[in-house]
Structure 1
Amino acid sequence: MQAVRILLAEDDERYALRLQKNLESERIQVEVAADGQAALDRLQRESFDLVLADIKMPRMDGLELLKTIKGNSVAGVDRDLPVIVLTSVDSVSAAVEAMRAGAEDYLTKTAEWDEILVHLNRALDHSRRSRENELLRRQVAAQSPFNEVIALSEAMGAVLKQVEDIAATQATVLITGETGVGKELIARAIHQRSLRRDGPFLEVNCAGLPDDNMFQSELFGHERGAFTGAYEKRKGRFELAHGGTLFLDEVGDLSVDSQAKILRVLETRTFERLGGSRKIQVDVRFILATNRPLQKEVEAGRFRRDLYYRINVVHIHIPPLRQRPEDIEALVQYYEERFRQEYRRPALRFTPQAMQVLQAHSWPGNVRELRNVLERLALVGAGGTITARDLEALGLGVQDSGQEELVRMPEEGISLEALEQSAILQALRRTDWVQKDAAELLHISVDRMNARIRKYGITHPKWKRHRGESPGE
C-alpha cells in the first residue's frame, strides 16, 4: 500500500521536527516547508494526501495558503486537497475563519498526540471517500446515457433497467411518482434511448392549462377563426411532435372531456384541429406521467377507466428520495459541481454531520427540493465548508430532529379511521385483549377505549357481554 504523504507548512522548526518524527513513527511520510509560499511551490511540483498548515507564518500565512489552494488559482495544485490548520490556543477565531474558507479541520498546537492522529485519520478517510464517490459518479456518468439521472441505489437501478428494456419499443409508458422525483428526466431518457431520438421531444404540463379549450388548443392546434382571437392557423403539440415523443405530464389533472379526446388520439393516432374538419394523422410515441393514484381516481369516477387501461401498458414507478438515501450524496456532488460551474462559485465541502442531515431529511419535495437547496447554497454561500448548522438555517434537520414519523403516509393517502382501528387492534393483541392495558398503551382512558371498540364492532371470545353493557375485561 502506498504511504500517506503529508506536507507540513510550519515556521517553528523545533515543533515541525517533533511533529515530523512522531508522524513518521506511524509510517506517515512528512515533508516540511518553512512557510506558505514554500509549501505552495512544493504543491505545484509534488503530490500530497494532506496539508498541515500553521495559521501564522512569514511570507504567506496558513489562511492565505488555504484560500489559494481552494481558489483553484494555481496550476498543478489540487483544490480538493484536504487542509488542516494549526493554531495557537488563543486563535480560535482564525480557525473558524479557516473552516469557512474550506479547511477540513483545525488543531491546536497543544493537542495531545492521540488527538492529532484522530483528526488526521478522519480527514484522510473523508478525503478518500470523497474521491471514491467522485470516481464512481464519473464512471456512472460515463457509462449512463441518462444525464442527470443519478441511480446508485438498487431502486433507481431497477427503474433504469426498465427504461433500457422498453426504450426501443413503441409502447405507451405511464410514469408515476411524487412531485419532484424526476418523471420528466425519465421520460427524456426513454426518448434518448429510443429509435425516435433524432425526432422532437415535446412536453405538455396538463396541470398548467386552466381549462379544456386552452388544453385542446395547445394539443390539437386550431384553424383561423376557430374562436375569438384565433387570427391565424396554429399547429398543436400533436403535429409538432410528429416522428418523436410527446410527454403529457400530470395527466391525472385532465378533465373527463379532455380525457376522452386524448383516448381517441391514442387509439387512432388521428385528430382534427379546433375549428377544422380535416383528419390529421401523426406518428407519435406517448409518455404520460402523474403524481396521483390513478386507480383510485378511476374508482372515484374522476379518471376514465378505458383511458387508464390504454395508457397503463408499461408502468414505471419512481420511488421518492427518502426511500433511496444511497443516491443523496451522489446527487449533492452532482448539483454542487453543476452550480459551482454555472455561477462561477468556489467549491463547497460538506462535513460528515452535514451529510447526515441531508440523508436524514424526509425530502417532501424530493430531488427538486434537494436541487433547490444546493442552488441556494451555491448562490448565498461564500464557498468553504457546509456544516449541519448551515443546513439548519435553511430549515433542514430542525423539524426532523426528535420528531420521527411513526407512520409513513402512503402516496395514495390513508383512512384515518382505518389507522385508528389498526392501532387499537394492535394494542389489544399486545395486551392479550385486556382493554385497560391496551388503553394505557395508547395513552387514552378506558371509557374512550370502550367507545372505540363499540364504534368498530371489535369482539373477542375472552370478553363477557351483558345486554346493555360495554364489553368487560
Structure 2
Amino acid sequence: MSKQEPYILVVDDEQDIRQLVSEILEDEGYQVAMAENATVARALKQECQPCLILLDIWMPDSDGITLLKEWVAEDDALCPVIMMSGHASVESAVEATRLGAYDFLEKPLSLAKLLLTVERALEASHLQQENAGLKQQLMLGVEPIGKSAVVERAKDQIKRLAQHDARVLFVGEAGVGKEMYARYLHNNSARRDGPFVDVSVGSIAPENSAVEFFGREDGGGKIYRGLLEQAHGGTLFLGEISGMDQETQARLLSALESSSFLRVGGSESVRVDVRVLSSTRMSLEEEVSSGRFRQDLYYLLNVVTLEIQPLREHSEDVPGLLNYYVDHFVAQEKLPFRKFSMAAQNYLRNYSWPGNVRELKNLVQRLMILGAGDDIELDEVKDALGSFAEEPVLTGVVPEFFNLPLKEAREHFEKSYLEYHFEKNGGSVAKLAAAIGMERTHLYRKLHALKIKL
C-alpha cells in the first residue's frame, strides 16, 4: 500500500465556499470530499472515514453544533473537527470547543489561517495516534529477540514480505511469538503509521463475533466500530484463526473480497483498507478437510505461509531472551533486578521449552516475583519448572502454590490445569470445553478471569 494523503471532509451549504476550500486543500495535496448538508455529511463520514472535518455551523437541515454533538456521542475516536461560521455567536464557539472541536474559524475565511489550522490539527491527531502506538509497542516488543540464524532468517523474510500487501499466515506452536512477528511485519511496512489491531479469535464468543468484527448501528444512530474499521489504513492480526465460527468466516470472506461490509443493524456499506495477517497453531488443512474451516477463506488468508520455529530449534537465543525479559520486568513492573547464574543459563539452554518464548517469559517473571537475592541459581530454576510438571508428586517436587492461601492456590491450579488441556487440545476452545466438561460461555469467562491468552 502506498501512503495516501489525509482525507478531509468539507461540510458547507454554500457551494462557492465548498468549492474554494476544496480546491485550496487539493492544491496542497489533500484528498477532499464535499457535503452540502448534514445528511450528505453523515453518509460521507462513514464512507470516506476522513482524517479531519471542516464543519459549517448553519446548514438547512441540521446545524453543525448538533451534528458535532451527534458524532462525539457515537464515535469515541472522532477525528479533529474545525468549525466554520460567518454569523456565529461567542456562545456557539464556546459550545463547539466544549464538545471537542479542535478550533473555530470565522468567515470570510483567511486562507493562510485555514491551511495552518488544518496542518496543526492533522499533526496533533497524528501525534496522538503515534503516542498510542508507541505505548503498545513498548508492551509487546519492537522486534523478535535473538541473533541465531533461525531468527535472522525469519526477520529477513518478514522485511521482504513487508514491502508487499499480501496476506500472511503465521504458523507455529503456542508461545513462539507469532503476534510479535506479525507486529514486526507491520512496523516495517508502508502501513506502519496506521493502527495495528490484534485479536485472539478464540476469545470472542460466537454470539458476539459479528458485532466485534463488523460493528453495530442502533436505532438512535449510535455506531460501534468493529475490528475491521478500527484497523482501517493499517493491519488486522487474527490470532488462532481456526477458532472462528462458520457464520463469521462467511462474513469475513465477503468483507475481504469486496473491502466492504455492513455493520450489524446497518444499511449502508462501509469500505475499509486493511491488511489482514493471521496465525494458527493447528493444521488448517485438517480443519478444512473436516469442514470446520472454509476452504475459500483459507486460500484468501494463506497467500504466504511463514513458519515460526519453536524455541528448542534456536536454543542459543535463550540467554539473550532471559536477559531481555529481566530488563523488561525491571523497567515495566519495577521488579528488583536479578540475574541468571551461568549454570542456570546452561540448564535452560538444554530445556525443551514446550511453551516456547511465552513459557520463558512467564518463568522469568515468576522467579523475579517469588525469588530473593541477586542471583537466580540452578536449584531455584529447577524448582520453578518442576512446580508445573505434569506429575509433581512423583518427581518429589512440591508445587510453589501449595504454600499459598487456598484462594490463590486454587487460581494457580486452575490456570495450570486449563493451560495444559488447552495446549493438549490444539488451542481450540470448543475442544477444551468438551475435554473438561465445561459449558463454553462459562469457560470463556474463566479463561478471561485467569488471563489465559487464547
TM-score band by shorter chain is: 0.5 to 0.7
CA contact (8 A) 2:176 2:309 kept: yes
Is 1:279 paired with 2:269?
yes
The superposition leaves residues 69-103 of structure 1 with CA deviations (integer Å, 9 ceiling, x where unpaired) of: xxxxxxxxxxxxxxxxxxxxxxxxxxxxxxxxxxx
Paired letter, 1:383: G
Deviation, 1:396, is: 4.6
Q: Pick closer, same or farther for the CA change 1:221–1:348 going to 2, 3 Å.
A: same
* Corresponding position of 1:176: 171
The SS at the match of 2:236 is: strand
Partner residue of 2:155? 160
- The residue number in structure 2 matching 1:308 is 298
Partner of 2:213: 219
1:7 aligned partner: none
Task: Tell me how large the CA RMSD over aligned residues is.
Answer: 2.8
Q: Which amino acid aligns with 1:157?
A: E
Summarize the Cα distance change of 1:219–1:344 in structure 2 as closer, same or farther, 3 Å threshold.
Answer: closer
Q: TM-score, normalised by structure 1?
A: 0.51
Contact kept, 8 Å, 1:172 with 1:314, in 2: the verdict is yes
| Alignment match of 1:147 (pick from 142, 150, 170) | 142
Opposite residue 319 of structure 1, the aligned amino acid is Q
Distance 1:366 1:199, change over 3 A: same
Distance in 1 (CA, whole Å) between partners of 2:224 and 2:387 is: 50
Which consecutive residues of structure 1, in runs of 5 or more, have no partner in the other structure? Answer: 1-144, 404-409, 414-473
- Matched residue of 1:395: which SS? helix
Question: In structure 2, do the counterparts of structure 1 residues 159 and 336 end up closer, same or farther at CA, with 3 Å as the change threshold?
Answer: same
In structure 2, relative to structure 1, the CA distance for the partners of 1:351 and 1:151 (3 Å cut) is: closer
Equivalent position to 1:202, from 193, 197, 206 = 197
Determine the C-alpha separation between the residues in 2 that align with 1:335 and 1:186.
17
Letter of the 1:238 partner, please give it: L
Report the Cα distance in structure 2 between the residues aligned to 1:233 and 1:150, rounded to whole angstroms. 40
1:231 Cα offset (Å) = 8.6
Determine if contact 1:360/1:397 at 8 Å carries over to the other structure: no
Tell me which of 231, 234, 239 is aligned to 1:244: 234
Structure 2 unaligned residues grouped into runs of 5+: 1-139, 396-422, 427-454
- Structure 1 contact 346–383 (Cα < 8 Å) conserved: no
- 1:411 offset after TM fit, Å? 11
Q: Which structure features the higher share of helix residues?
A: 2
Task: Deviation per CA, 1:217-248: give whole Å up to 9, x if none.
Answer: 011001104xxxx9932111111211111111
| 2:322–2:364 Cα contact (<8 Å) kept | yes
SS of 2:384's partner is: coil
Determine if contact 2:171/2:281 at 8 Å carries over to the other structure: yes
Distance 2:315 2:387 in 1: 15
Cα distance in 2 between the residues matched to 1:334 and 1:148: 12
Alignment check: 8 A CA contact 2:143 2:181 kept? no
1:288 is aligned to 2:278: yes
CA separation in 2, counterparts of 1:344 and 1:200?
29
For the 8 Å contact 1:357–1:396, the answer to whether it is kept is no
- Report the identity percentage: 40
Query: When the two structures are superposed, what TM-score results if normalisation uses the length of structure 2?
Result: 0.53
Number of residue pairs matched? Answer: 258
Q: 2:244 matched to which residue of 1?
A: 254
Moved more, 345-354 or 304-313: 345-354
Report the residue type matching 2:356 in the other structure.
N
Cα 1:411–1:319 shift into 2, 3 Å: farther
Return the letter of the residue paired with 1:333: N
Is the Cα–Cα contact under 8 Å of residues 223 and 274 in structure 1 kept in the other structure?
A: yes
One-letter code aligned to 2:380 = D
Cα distance 1:255–1:397, how it changes in 2: closer, same or farther (>3 A)? Answer: closer
Could you say which residue in structure 1 is the equivalent of 2:74? none
Q: Could you tell me how far apart the structure 2 residues matched to 1:299 and 1:203 are?
A: 27
Deviation at 1:372, TM superposition (A): 0.9
2:363 counterpart residue number:
373
Decide whether the 8 Å contact of 1:173 with 1:316 is kept in 2.
yes
The structure whose Rg is larger is: 1
**Secondary structure in 2 matching 1:181:** coil
Counterpart secondary structure, 2:385: coil
Match of 1:330, SS state, is helix
Amino acid at match of 1:166: L
